[in-house]
Amino acid sequence: MAETGPEREELLSLRRGLEGLAPLPDAAWRDFAKVLKRRRLKASETWVRHGDTPDQVAVLSSGLMRLYYLREDGRELIKGFIRPGGWVAILDALLLKQPSRVTAEALAPSTLWTLPYRELERLCEAHAFWGLATRRLLERLYVRKVQREAAFLLDSPADRYLEFLREFADVQALIPDYHVASYLGVTPVALSRIRGRLGLVKRPARSAR
């Protein structure tokens, strides 16, 4: 794969992120890098749409993405946000080979490095690193899922909002209020009241285009 300067920097950043999971042998990296493809998305462009049967996974190199469910009445329910360094994979659809119930959409101009899921499976069989790295990524995903479920059951909406601000401090200005409200499980009006009670004023949203 011929690399430009920006692409080389993106791949170096991706490698550093992987090295945070476990020591990464050169052979395991080369085998991974040779099957990667770079994909750029405009703001509001989707990578996986509700009803698609995905066969790819990706790492977000730059930008910001959201995952959401679409109800029959057209209402969108935010599942989560993905910042640079995060993996984008609709796991249930991939594992069950079924249409996705989730849409993955760019909230800002974004760059993904993608590879077929079957290649990730092959890498896990060929390299001990990839088996370990995948397990650790899944562990993190599970912990995050349990924490989010517990927050909805045990924490107040205000506490969930404060946690959102801590977790997404670097990108929250790119996320519209109505997406934040959906992610927190409240209405936009309720979110405005929460901010008022906390004495917080939302920063002006930066353009995502």
pLDDT for res 2 = 54
With vertex at residue 138, the alpha carbon angle to CA 136 and CA 139, rounded to the nearest 5 degrees, is: 60
pTM of this prediction exceeds 0.85: yes
Of 61 and 206, more confident: 61
pLDDT for res 203 = 52
Token representation of residue 194: 């929460």
Alpha carbon separation from 131 to 18, 36, 160 (Å, rounded): 12, 18, 34
- Which domains are present in the chain? 5-117 (2.60.120.10)
pLDDT band, residue 200 (cuts 50/70/90) = confident
In tens, the pLDDT along 16-74 reads 999 999 999 999 999 999 999 999 999 999 999 999 999 999 999 999 999 999 999 98
